[in-house]
Each structure stands twice: as structure tokens, then as C-alpha cells.
Structure 1
Amino acid sequence: QCQNGHVACFSCWSWLSNKCHVCSHDAIFARNIALEKIVESIKSSCAYAKWGCCNLVSYAQRSTHEEACLFAPSTCPIPGCGYRGFTGCWSGHFLVDHSADCLHFVYGQPFEVNLEVSLPFLVLLGEDDHLFLLLNKNMMPFGHAFTVVCLRTGNLNWKFSYEIITASGGNPENSLQLKASVTNTKEWGGMHPAEAFLLVPYDFCSSTSLTLHVAVARSASV
């Protein structure tokens, strides 16, 4: 506020050049602590309230809360895309922009994946629109490490688990199997979960591809 008590918000004050926009006098602006306290006491709904966030946040805390909010959107994992979407709203985006880049599946039903060993991940889209990534990390000199993560935000009412089975291309009697819980992540930036993964030796793969049998199960959180 200026010496006469006229108030300007911070963004406007930055271009007033110490001249009051009300009384037009040269002024030395000072913080209006009383008005700041009033503004800080006002709480409003999170920007992601319609997606399930019930928090009421103050003006000062709004940006910090929304950056960390469980219900904030996730970024599409396809390189160069930049689309930000919410849990339950991914199928439309992939149908329009990445129709060839994802595999739809039904919970509890095994499905076959023929994966190029050079691909870092494959997008799996559940019947309820939850978005999963089948991650593939080259673990030289041992083989490929496979794991499944769920790229989701919002209410974690569901628990997911997965199973991966693969057989050796040279000797089908040799097989590997993993059963594990799905790791949840808001954003995937190239980091691979280390808690559980299936390490498939290079000898199980052909020169360019590998066949996996995958199943993802869903159960209600207690």
C-alpha cells in the first residue's frame, strides 16, 4: 500500500514505478500485512477437486499443494508428447494420438506380448483406463529386466499385481516366472523400480524380440 493506504497487488506494483495508481502521487509502497493475513486465511478448493481432491488450501499454499497433489495429472510417457491426463481418461488420448503404441487388456486374463528388445517400455491400457508400463531395462552383461508400473493419480482404491512368464527361444522347457505387486508412480522419468523385476538372460531372446506372457490382476484396497 502507498502512504495514503491505497492497495495494489504484487504483480501490479512491479510496474507502477513507485507512483500510486489511485492518487497518482509518488509513493513508497509497503507491505499491507493486515490484508495479507486476510488473503492467507481464505481457503479454496484444489484445482483438481473434480478429480477427487477434497483439500481446502490457502492462497499461499496453493501452488505447492497442486504440484504435489495426488490427483494432479500425469504426463503421457510417449517421448515428445507432453499431454497431461488423469486416471480414467487415457483411452481417448491414445486412440487419437497413439493408436499403435498401446496394448489393451482385461484384468485377470493372460495376454501375449511380442516385445522388441530395444524398446524401453510398452504401454498397457486396462479395461478401466488405468495406464500401465511394462518396463524393459537392458542389464548388461546379464539380460533384460522386466517390471510393471502403474502411471496413476487419484484415489488408490485398487491394488494391482502382475505375472510375467517367458520361455527360452532355444529350449522351451526352460522358463522364468515372476509374480509381484505393481509399483505406482505419478510420473515415469526413466527410473526402474528395484524391488521386483524379472531378469531374462540374453539367451532367452532372439536377436530382436522376446515373447512374454503377462497377466495383470486387480483387487480392492482394504
Structure 2
Amino acid sequence: MPRAKREMVVHEEGEIMQTEQEPTRELTKVSMDLTVLHCPLCLRPLMPPVYECKGGHLACMDCRIECPRNQRQCQKCERGGGFDMWSTVVEVVVSSLRVECPHEGCGLYVTYHMLADHQSVCPLAPYKCPVPVCGYEGPPPVLYHHIINVHPMHVHRILYGKVLQLQVPLPEPRLLLSTEEEGRTFFLVGGVLDIGAPIVVSVVCIRAGGSPLPHYVAKLWANGPPGEPKGTTNAVKVEMEVTRSKDPGDVDMQELTFFTVPPKLLAGAKLVFLHIQIDKLMS
């Protein structure tokens, strides 16, 4: 009878569980210091290929290659020595260890040296509330309910590819756009870049900046009051890629692509009548 495959699983807190995938599942808990799996030179988690000196001290490939030539010798060895030997045993260890994503509700186990990459795109990573000085953090679904229950911020439902008409308050527009299709939340933010300057508006997706597809494009335009004498309407329109951020309330308007609303298109002193369409791109 073939032996069951065993896999080592490491929790972020340093807890190892040895699991037996077939035919039964067996868990064994062991504590270890995960920093022993970090490169002693750059302090980042080791990942293949891993090298060692004759004294058994380790180095990652980046440190072995990028360090100045006079620093490529092991500083822990009495006589020094280069990291010239390929440490296949350590590679097996760092390649087989799995850690659980610490984000509540995720539950995914990933290779330890890839944990930071996963956390940067994890859909359940905590996001900061866009309301200034709030300080609350939570995954997107929880954050959405926090905002609508705790803060008096306007929330509007939007469908991809459909135009939504908005009355946006001035002088610092802030409201949420929520999609029913995938529960995505967008933050419409605006302000004045300088005294006496026009109002500017942009759209931020509450999402990790390194997240994979899809991407989003926003089309915004504003119509002014009917002109004289022929009743024509002034309008301005822009199409922009939607910026992604885990902290939408702290974005710098000057670093965003934004939509400028000239003063003549402001209908009254406290509102701007805005049209917005968000399209989802899968490539």
C-alpha cells in the first residue's frame, strides 16, 4: 500500500502542522522561529535558489549577486569565503513550508516566501476607511457596511457600462459608488488644488494597488446650465483609468488623473451635476 503524502504547514506565528493528505489527515503542532528562514544579509524570506558558504551560512541569490565584490565573502566565517555552494536541503524546506494568510476570512495557505506577495493582492486584506481621522480598517464588505452605518456619506449603486447621474456636494466631493455585480466599491473624491482654482474630481477603487485583473476605466462629464441665446449647454468630458488604493482617504489629488469642473459649469454654489460611467476591463 503506497505511503500517504505528508506536507509541512507553518502558521505565521511560527506554528508548524504536519498534515497527511491521504488517506487520513493528521496534524502535528511544532513551534519554530521563522526568522531562521530569512536571508541573514537582507533579512527577507529565503526563496530558491539558496546558497551557502563552506561554514553553512546562507545567502539568497540577490545578495550573492548584488553585493559589491568585496562584500561577497561570508562575514561570519573566521577566514571568510564565498557563497558558492547550492543549498538544496534548505531549498526543499523553504519551498515546502506553507503559512496561512493572516487576513480574517481568507484561510489560504501559501508558500512562506510568497506570503508578502499574496497579502498585497489578497481580496480580504484590510482597507482603511476613507473618512478622515476615522482610523477604522476592515475587508471591503465589512468596510462598506461600516461606512454606511457609521458615517453620513452618500452611497450610490452603479452598474458597469451604465451612466449614473449624480449631484455632488461641494467644495470637497466625497461619496461611494457600489456595484452589486461583484461588491466592488469606488470612492469619488474631489477638492481644490489651489485657492481660486476649479473643482477637480477623481475616482479611486478601494482595492490593493497590486491586484490583478480586472481594471477599470471611468468616464466623467458635467453639463452646465443652458446657454444664451440658443439654449445650448456647455459640457466637459474626460476618460481616465481608475486608481486603486487600500487607503483611498489618503490619496493625493495631485498624483491622480482628475476631472476638472470649470466654474461656469457649477449649477449653484453647493452642487455640481456630474455624470459617471465605469467600465470593467478584463485585459
Q: Structures share a fold, TM > 0.5? A: yes
> What count of residue pairs does the alignment treat as equivalent?
183
- How far off is 1:82 after superposition? 3.0
1:90·1:131 contact (CA, 8 Å) conserved in 2? no
- How far off is 1:217 after superposition? 1.1
1:46·1:56 contact (CA, 8 Å) conserved in 2? no
**Highest relative contact order (Cα 8 Å, sep 6+), 1 or 2?**
1
Could you tell me which residue of structure 1 aligns to residue 131 of structure 2? 78
1:86·1:152 contact (CA, 8 Å) conserved in 2? no
Q: Which moved more, 1:144-153 or 1:81-90?
A: 81-90
Secondary structure of 2:146's match?
helix
- How far off is 1:169 after superposition? 3.0
State the distance in 2 between where 1:53 and 1:180 align.
34
- How far off is 1:49 after superposition? 8.4
Could you tell me which residue of structure 2 aligns to residue 173 of structure 1? 233
1:102·1:125 contact (CA, 8 Å) conserved in 2? yes
- How far off is 1:179 after superposition? 1.0
State the distance in 1 between where 2:172 and 2:191 align.
9
Could you tell me which residue of structure 2 aligns to residue 104 of structure 1? 157
State the distance in 1 between where 2:218 and 2:177 align.
12
Structure 2, unaligned stretches of length 5 or more?
A: 1-31, 38-93
Could you tell me which residue of structure 2 aligns to residue 44 of structure 1? 99
2:212 matches 1:130? no
Q: TM-score, normalized by length of structure 1?
A: 0.68
Identity percentage of aligned residues: 20
- How far off is 1:73 after superposition? 1.2
Q: For the structure 1 residues 151 and 160, does the alpha-carbon distance in structure 2 shift closer, same or farther, using more than 3 Å as the test? A: same
Q: Which moved more, 1:159-168 or 1:147-156?
A: 147-156
2:261 matches 1:200? yes
Q: Which moved more, 1:74-83 or 1:174-183?
A: 74-83
Equivalent residue letter for 1:162: A
Secondary structure of 1:106's match?
coil
1:109·1:216 contact (CA, 8 Å) conserved in 2? yes
Q: What value does the CA root-mean-square deviation take over the aligned residues? A: 3.2
